[in-house]
Amino acid sequence: MKNLFYLIGVILLLSCGESTPSKQKMIVDGFAQGTTYKIIYISNDGINHQRAIDSMLIEIDNSLSTYQKRSLISKFNQADSIGGIDQMFADVYTISRQVYEATDGAFDPTVAPIVNAWGFGFENLYSTDSLMIDSLLGFVDFEKIDLNKLEISKPIKGMMLDFNAVAQGYSVDVLAELLERRGVDNYLVEVGGELKAKGLNMNDTLWRIGIDRPIPDLKEREIEAIVNLDNKALATSGNYRKFYEKDGIKYSHTINPKTGYPVSHSLLSVTVVADNCGVADAYATAFMVIGLEKSKKLLDKHKDLEALLIYSNENGELQTFITDGLIDFIELNPDKK
């Protein structure tokens, strides 16, 4: 009988061990889409999902990368129309159309020829003047790009699409969905600085995201704010790093599709928090186009968006604007505390 109790005790001990898996922090990172990605997730089974993640990133590139000559978007840019549009291309087109209409054309993926002309696109022409810009504006009008079922067409030869201002955010959404299908409930997905978080980290707290102070040429990274992400996505856009100088003039990488020229205003950095990273990514770009005051008005209309706007006042001092729904999830100037 004593041996029987001992055997039962061992079985119960083993059963408890099998039903209580250990929590592990898994990190998957690498290079994709001309930038880096990093995914942190909490695992109960220790499975590494890198192979599936890398395969998905290749699939995204085959659809949306302007740097892949055989991608769907590159084929469209070289032709009048193409068929066989996949779900990824259709999704990004739909997001772009939504933000294009909501921002009165401030977000326009057909601005690609002008972005290239200013030296920030996938062709890097680095040669432009007012006559060239005026002529290229004739190719900028997302309203004319027609997606009908599985075929997309354009009325003017030379029109091009560039989804780079939404594709990285969309990639984050796709990778997040992949993890959820594989049973991962707590994760942080980051591609090129755009992020999405779900659940809690290893410390059972919300995932904390640092927002850079928008000052160029800093020797060390300085944090302007920390955002605690509660099952949300986050995207940041700014002009303080991506620019070039020519003849003593700094040119921002953000191009206004209405004028064809780089923007020039006090708004330095925009961080948008939304349910979907593709949407946040597109709006962050649009806000950088329209500037501070118009961004505030647009945010007042779209309660599904939260944002941190960092701008400079007339004295060159950094100022911040935070939407009401983000105040409880943000810490400003953490380095100064």
Three-state secondary structure string covering the chain:
CHHHHHHHHHHHHHHHHHHCCCCEEEEEEEEECCEEEEEEEEECCCCCCHHHHHHHHHHHHHHHCCCCCCCHHHHHHHCCEECCCCHHHHHHHHHHHHHHHHCCCCCCHHHHHHHHHCCCCCCCCCCCCHHHHHHHHHHCCHHHCEEECCEEECCCCCCCCCCHHHHHHHHHHHHHHHHHHCCCCCEEEEECCEEEEECCCCCCCCEEEEEECCCCCCCCCCEEEEEEECCCEEEEEECCCCEEEECCEEEECCECCCCCCECCCCEEEEEEEECCHHHHHHHHHHHHHHCHHHHHHHHHHCCCCEEEEEEECCCCCEEEEECHHHHHHEEECHHHC
Token pair 């690609």 in the structure block, residue: 112
State how far the Cα of 86 lies from the Cα of 153, in Å rounded to an integer: 14
The predicted structure's pLDDT at residue 335: 64
- The two tokens of residue 150 are 């599985």
Query: Is 325 in contact with 306 (CB distance < 8 Å)?
Result: yes
Closest CA to 186 of 207, 166, 172: 207
Mean pLDDT, each 10-residue run in order, the chain (337 residues): 38 42 91 93 96 97 94 95 95 98 97 86 60 92 92 94 96 98 97 97 97 82 94 91 50 84 91 98 97 97 97 91 97 74
Domains of the chain as residue ranges with CATH: 26-336 (3.10.520.10)
The predicted structure's pLDDT at residue 249: 44
Between the alpha carbon of residue 11 and those of residues 44, 59, 333, the distances in Å are: 22, 47, 55
The predicted structure's pLDDT at residue 92: 98
Report angle CA 74, 94, 290 to the nearest 5 degrees. Answer: 90
